[in-house]
Amino acid sequence: MKQTRALTITGGKLVAPGGIRDGNLRIAEGRIAACGDAQPQDGDEIVDAGGKLVAPGLVDLGVFAVDKPAFHFGGITRAALMPDQSPALDLPSRVSYIAKSGKPDLWVHPLAAATRGLAGSEIAEIALMREAGALGVATGRGWIADSGVMLRLLQYAAMLDMPVIAHAEDAALVGPAVATAGEYATRRGLPSAPAEAEAIAIARDLALAEMAGARIHFRQVTTRAGLELVRRAKAGGPRVTAGVTPAHFMLSDLATVDFRTFARLSPPLRSEDDRQAVREAIADGTIDVISSGHDPRGPEDKRQPFADAEPGMAGAETLLAMALSLATDGIVNVARVFDLVAGNPASILGVAAGSLEVGLEGDMALIDADKPWIVQSARMAATAGNTPFDGQPTQGRVLRLWKGGVEIEL
C-alpha cells in the first residue's frame, strides 16, 4: 500500500511536539512533508478536520495478538508483538514471518523471545532475530529467575543496542497466585501473592541492567514500591523506562469482588493506594508508556472459576479513550497523552513514527476527543471481548485513520 496522491488535512488541532496548535498537516510519499502552516498543493487530496484532533497513530508496545479490526478501531497503526506465541518467537524465521504479517495497513514489530521457548534458561539467537526484524527482546509473560541468564541476556542486548522488555514479578513469590494479597483476596479465598513481588523483581533487574549497561523497559509497573524504584533509577540516566496498561490506573482489586474473570489480569489488579501511585507516576513522568496489553481471550478461557481463568484483557479498542481520560481528569494534558501512547513507545522501539514531525511516517488519526460511547464487550471488534471496562461510559473515538498517508477503512 503506497500513497499515490499527497494528502493535506486542514483545520485541525495538531497534536505536535510542544503541544496542541491549530494548523494543517501535509503528507506526501508516505511521510509528513509539512506540519503547522502546510498549504495544499495542486492535486492534493484535501480533508477538513473540522477542528478535531489530528494526532499520530498509536504505537502499542507489548500486545499478545495481532487483531487488526480492534487496532484500527483504537487508532493503532503499529504494534509490538510479545513473543508469547504458539510457537514462541525464538527463531529468525518466525520473527521474519510476523514482521510481514500486518502489512500494509498495520505494521507489526515482533519482540524476540529472550530465551528458547521462553523457558528462562537458554538465551535465544537474538542477533539473528534482530536481522529478521525484531526491534526488542522480551521475557514474555514471565520473569527470568536465573540471575546469571538475565545478566547475560542484558549484556547481549546491550551489545546489539536492543531494549529488553521485562516482566516484573518474582516467580517464586507469585507461584499460582491470581490476586494481590490483601483484604479482598483473603475474603474470597483466592490464591494471592504479595505486591512486593514486583518491587523485588524490579530491584534485581535494575541492578543487572546497570551492570550490563543495557536499556530495560518494564512493561507494567503497578505498585507504589515498584514505581519508587523506577523513579530513583531514572534519576541516574535515561536507560530505564516503564509502562502500564489502563486497567492499573483505572481499576483496583475492588473490581474482583464479584469474581468477574474479565478482571483476571497479569499482573493482578492492585490496591487503591497502588492505583493512585500509578496515576501519580504518570503525572510526574515515571511512567513513559501506556499500552493496551491486548490479549483477547474467548469463553473457553474466561468462563471458568476466577482462579482457573486465563489472565488477559482485550485492550486495543479502549486504549485511546482510557488514556484520554487522564487529560479529562487533569492528570496530564492531551499532548502528554500522545507521548505515552505513541511518541515514547516509538522512541523505545526506534521507529520513525509516533509524532507529527516532518520526515516521519504519515501514520495519523483524526479523533473526536469528546465523542461519548459505552464499552460493550459483545460488540467489540476484537476476536474476544474480555474487557474489564464492559459497560463503562467513556469518550474519545477515532473518526478516520491513515497509515503512510493512505486511509484505512474503519
Q: In the chain, where are the structural domains located? A: 61-354+385-392
CB 81 within 8 A of CB 61: no
Nearest to 368 by CA among 24, 52, 35, 19: 52
Q: Which residues of the chain have pLDDT under 50?
A: none
- What pLDDT, in 10s, does the model give residues 169-221? 999 999 999 999 999 899 989 999 999 999 999 999 999 999 999 999 999 99
Rounded to whole angstroms, the Cα distance separating 154 from 164 reads 7
CA 357-96-221 angle, to 5 degrees, is 60
Reduced to 3 states, what is the DSSP secondary structure of residue 210?
Answer: helix
Indicate the class that CATH gives domain 61-354+385-392: alpha beta
What is this structure's pTM?
0.96
Rounded to whole angstroms, the Cα distance separating 42 from 188 reads 67
Please report the pLDDT score of residue 175 as a whole number: 94
Please report the pLDDT score of residue 66 as a whole number: 94
Please report the pLDDT score of residue 2 as a whole number: 87
- What pLDDT, in 10s, does the model give residues 24-65? 999 999 999 999 988 899 999 999 999 999 999 999 999 999
Please report the pLDDT score of residue 236 as a whole number: 80
Please report the pLDDT score of residue 38 as a whole number: 87
Q: What percent of the chain has pLDDT over 90?
A: 94
Rounded to whole angstroms, the Cα distance separating 266 from 141 reads 8
Measured CA distances, 42 to 8, 11, 23 (Å): 11, 18, 19
